Amino acid sequence: MDQVVEQSKLPRRKPRRWLSPFWMRQFHTWHWMSSAICLVGMILFAITGITLNHAGSIEASPTVRTHEATLPADLLSQLRAAPRGQPADAPKDWLEGEFDIELDGRATEWTESELYVPLPRAGGDGWIAVDLDSGAAELEDTDRGAIAFLNDLHKGRDTGTAWSWFIDIFAGACVVFCVTGLLLLQIHARKRPSTWPIVGAGFIIPLLLIVFLMH
């Protein structure tokens, strides 16, 4: 007598995964590690994205500091004799001590009658001018506040080489975070039907805004 085996009692075959367990573990590891690296930076860039978007509505109260001094005669002579490029070491040291400012790596601009050193920095600006005839030296330093400082960090404005490297590394970590997140979405999409419609909305909504509402 033939035995009829009910279809429901047959062992179910597990669907074959397009990704091996090894790579699944790797993507999970890369995803959480990149998210840990990006966490603080992402919060910073998200907040400063809002402050930059509403920069016109956020009032700033810049603080301007000025200081005047007269370069000693011997140092003025050295400065006059220096090649048109960088000031001599002694006038540079005196300017740093007198104005409490760091001049290493600062570009120097010369005219026939003046030495000018721009002092741009994140969240502020400034300059030093030295009259080559009289030796009169003047510093003006402007501090635009904490929000301006954070906004300049977002833009990488006058932040130096180290911060520029940080932005590049942070951007790379964000790419790893997003790509591994996309791959993990692909893995779990079968159990979450709304996955791809939401991903599509994340692409279509900005596209529609750009095409129809951006002037």
Whole-prediction pTM: 0.77
The pLDDT value recorded for residue 72 is: 92
The residue ranking higher by pLDDT, 43 or 113, is: 43
pLDDT > 70 fraction of the chain, expressed in percent and rounded:
88
Cβ atoms 164, 156 nearer than 8 A: yes
The pLDDT value recorded for residue 85 is: 59
Rounded average pLDDT over 121-130: 94
Among the listed residues 124, 126, 128, the one whose alpha carbon sits nearest the alpha carbon of residue 136: 128
d(CA 163, CA 125): 18
d(CA 157, CA 48): 13
d(CA 148, CA 130): 28
Average pLDDT, the chain: 86
Q: Indicate if the pLDDT at residue 87 is higher than 80.
A: no
The pLDDT value recorded for residue 91 is: 83
